[in-house]
Structure 1
Amino acid sequence: MARITTQKALDHAFNIRRDVFIIEQGVPETLEFDAFDRLDSGCEHVLMTYNGSPAATGRVRKIDTCAKLERICVRKSYRGFGLGKQVIHQLEAVIKNEHVDHYLLHGQTHAIGFYESLGYTVFSDVFIEDGIPHVKMKKNLSHADN
């Protein structure tokens, strides 16, 4: 797992997101990529490889005293190896010392149990984001030392 610091690594992350969100889940490309998808955007991006191949990614950005985890995904062929959990832990670690008091994410409803196992709790009704049912989930920093 590594923080993304080069355009080449960021391009690997974009390819993972294309595979998962655009091809697999049908999210339009115009909705998947945004102003935070640059190295100088204020977001921290991470890339996880598995046996040398780009396998998982995510990003985190600070919003006031909150750290919002976003675009977390694992390529289908690499699921079941714990990479998603490692991405979450890395994103939390990257932003932990940036004066935040909680983590926030919009979790797809099918992944609620996964995020709950990492200390996140649901605090919203189901809503549709990019055509997919989501909930808002939160984890207080005092509970983030798992």
Structure 2
Amino acid sequence: MNSIKITNNDDLQRALKIRKEVFVKEQKVPEDIEVDEFDILNGACSHVLLTVDQEAVGTGRVRLVEHYGKLQRVAILQSYRKHGFGKVIILKLEELASELGATKVKLDAQVHAIGFYEKLGYEVQSDVFQDAGIDHVLMVKSL
């Protein structure tokens, strides 16, 4: 298993393919809102790719928003879930957020994932809201 900051377009495309599989195909998020202006190299976001035996299986991104590292688009291919890979991605994103100068991180968690994030030290900070037709809550953690 290897978790890396994406530095080339090939790896970015591998990450986008994972997100398309998880968010667009599996969760029915419209593709035109899943990919946005932050999905470029050397832009406002740092992207992460997780590989297992050279196969791309997970991804996420982080950007600095109002002094927070905002974690977004965390996705693991369905057949690789429940093996601790999500935690590896979150820890890498937190590391990158810290490098950007953030002392806190936040994310919009899908409601079904609240327990996962709580185990990693995140706390719910909002009521349930809809994003792309899916229930979410805002969660925050100090680094």
Determine which of 52, 57, 60 is the counterpart of 1:55: 57
After TM superposition, the score normalised by the length of structure 2 is 0.96
Determine which of 115, 118, 133 is the counterpart of 1:116: 118
Helix, strand or coil for the counterpart of 1:48? strand
After TM superposition, the score normalised by the length of structure 1 is 0.94
Q: In structure 1, what is the Cα distance between the partners aligned to 2:26 and 2:9? A: 24
Alignment of 1:1-146 (within 5 A): 1-141=3-143
Q: In structure 2, what is the Cα distance between the partners aligned to 1:112 and 1:37? A: 25
Cα root mean square deviation, aligned = 0.8
Q: In structure 1, what is the Cα distance between the partners aligned to 2:61 and 2:31? A: 17
Helix, strand or coil for the counterpart of 1:35? coil
Q: Which runs of 5 or more structure 1 residues have no equivalent in the other structure? A: 142-146
Q: Is the 8 A contact 2:97 2:105 kept in 1?
A: no
Q: Is the 8 A contact 1:64 1:100 kept in 2?
A: no
- 1:26-46 Cα offsets, whole Å, 9 max, x none, are 000011010000003221000
Provide the identity percentage. 45
Helix, strand or coil for the counterpart of 1:56? strand
Q: In structure 2, what is the Cα distance between the partners aligned to 1:80 and 1:51? A: 17
Greater than 6 Å deviation, 4+ residue runs: none
Q: Kindly state the Cα deviation for residue 63 of structure 1 after the two structures are TM-superposed.
A: 1.3
